[in-house]
Amino acid sequence: MALVDLKTATRSIGAVRNAIEVDVAATPQERTAVIVDAVLNGDAISVPFAKFSDGRGFSVARLLRSEHGFRGEIRATGHVIPDQALHLLRSGFDTVELTGGRGDKHWSDALASYSGAYQRAQRNPLELRREASLRQRKQKAAAGLGESLSATASLAYRIGIVAESVPGRLAFSTSLGKEDQAVLHAIVASGVEVDVFTLDTGRHFPETLKTLKATEEHFGIKIQVMEPEAKDIEELIARDGEFGFRTSVEARKRCCEVRKVIPLNRALKGAAAWITGLRREQSAGRANVPFASWNVNPDLYKINPLADWSEADLEAYIRANNIPVNPLHAEGFASIGCQPCTRAVAPGEDLRAGRWWWENEDGKECGLHNRPRELEVA
């Protein structure tokens, strides 16, 4: 017997769990009895479809989840067709028992056939109409803000516009690189209240840490240092080893996740806007960075006040304002991350070529600036 796993749109491999069948005409009491058995034995619950057009099973799955709170596997058996794949998934089913010659491809195609849905269901893997409306409103606001930002060349003035346009807490994450030093200068100069923080991954260059101290002294401010959870680091090293990030992109991303992304999310919690030092010139992948955009999760505006600046603009600003910079820049390090994962770049190379240089050119991001939409399953 083979199953289609609706959440991954693949044929499930390995042993198939035993399933207890629940009658579609069962009373709530009878459903409860089936659930008790299933939970005690670690079994799945199967919901039979006598005919694909008999839609009681959709309500039964929904009730098993929402009325009875069953969290185990719910499997559709009997006559169901691939065209019902999303109906099944969204009603609370996990798997479908494959019968006859129905190919897996029809099922995976059907699961990918829609990108949106109008109604909230038991599970919501597709963007909901209400979410799209919210996104449109936020994107419109972000576009308006972006337009205001592009109307002035003054960096400090841009920070002021953000403070005026976005009600709520502003947060700025600094890596202490050149870009971020310039933004920090403008924040201090504008007098706007912004929470400034940096992520201490535990793997930074000593020069970076020195720059942190020098910066705090220069501007007379306190930069909050966010650290990864000790427990997460232990688990990461136990799983992938001390230098696991060199073995695969996945392992490297797990390292970035624990050392950077999770602490960043902690720092951004409750922020209305997140100011960054991204520039379009930095890499091909950042060529279209807007001045302002809306981020779904966490729900905030992401502001890139340096988006249109050239390297020369940046250098001129730093010189003119006598801003301290990380000494590594002078040694050919353009973009500076953790010590084991950053090297200097040669003249003419992409500015981010020195990050994870052993990986493919495409998508060299740590996950701070390009999170994929999660396939949320309630």
Partner 1 sequence: MYRYDEFDRDFLADRNRDFRGQVARRLAGDLSEDEFKPLRLMNGLYLQLHAYMLRVAIPYGVLSSRQLRQLGMIARRWDKGFGHWTTRQNIQFNWIKLTDVPDILEALAEVDMHAIQTSGNCIRNVTADPLAGAAADEIEDPRVWAEIIRQWSTNHPEFSFLPRKFKFAITGALEDRAAIAFHDIGIRMVGGPGGTKGFRIYAGGGQGRTPYVAQEVKDFLEPGQLLSYLEAMLRVYNMHGRRDNMYKARIKILVNAIGVDAYRDQVEAEWKRIQSEGIDFPAEEVERIRAHFAAPKLPNMRVDEAAFSKARAKDAGFDRWVRHNVSQHRNPQYAIVSVAFKEPGRPPGDASATEMEQVADAAERYSRGEVRVTYSQNVILPHVARVDLHDLYSDLKSAGLVEGNTDLITDIIACPGLDYCNLANARAIPVAQDITERFSDPKRAEDIGELRLNISGCINACGHHHAGHIGILGVDKKGTEHYQITLGGSPGDDASVGSILGPSFPAEDITDAIENIVETYLAKRQDGEAFLTTYKRIGADPFKEALYGTR
Residues annotated as part of the active site: 366
- The distance of closest approach from Cβ of residue 256 to partner 1 in the complex, given in angstroms and rounded to an integer, is 32
Residue with Cβ nearer partner 1 (61 or 275): 61
Residue with Cβ nearer partner 1 (26 or 156): 26
Residue with Cβ nearer partner 1 (54 or 234): 54
Residue with Cβ nearer partner 1 (136 or 152): 136
Residue with Cβ nearer partner 1 (42 or 116): 116
Per CB under 8 A, residues contacting partner 1 are 52-56, 58-60, 62-63, 66-67, 81, 83-84, 86-91, 106, 109, 113-122, 127, 129-130, 132-134, 136-137
In the 3-class helix/strand/coil scheme, how is the chain assigned residue by residue? Answer: CEEEECCCCEECCCCCCCEEECCCCCCHHHHHHHHHHHHHHCCEEEEEECCCCCCHHHHHHHHHHHCCCCCCCEEEEECCCHHHHHHHHHHCCCEEEECCCCCHHHHHHHHCCCCEECCCCCCCCCEEHHHHHHHHHHHHHHHHHHHHHHCCCCHHHHHHHHHHHCCCCEEEECCCCHHHHHHHHHHHHHCCCCEEEEECCCCCCHHHHHHHHHHHHHHCCCCEEECCCHHHHHHHHHHHCCCHHHCCHHHHHHHHHHHHHHHHHHHHCCCCEEECCCCHHHCHHHCCCCCEEEECCCCEEEECCCCCCCHHHHHHHHHHHCCCCCHHHHHCCCCCCCHHHECCCCCCCCCCCCECCCCCCCCCCCCCCCCCCCCCCC
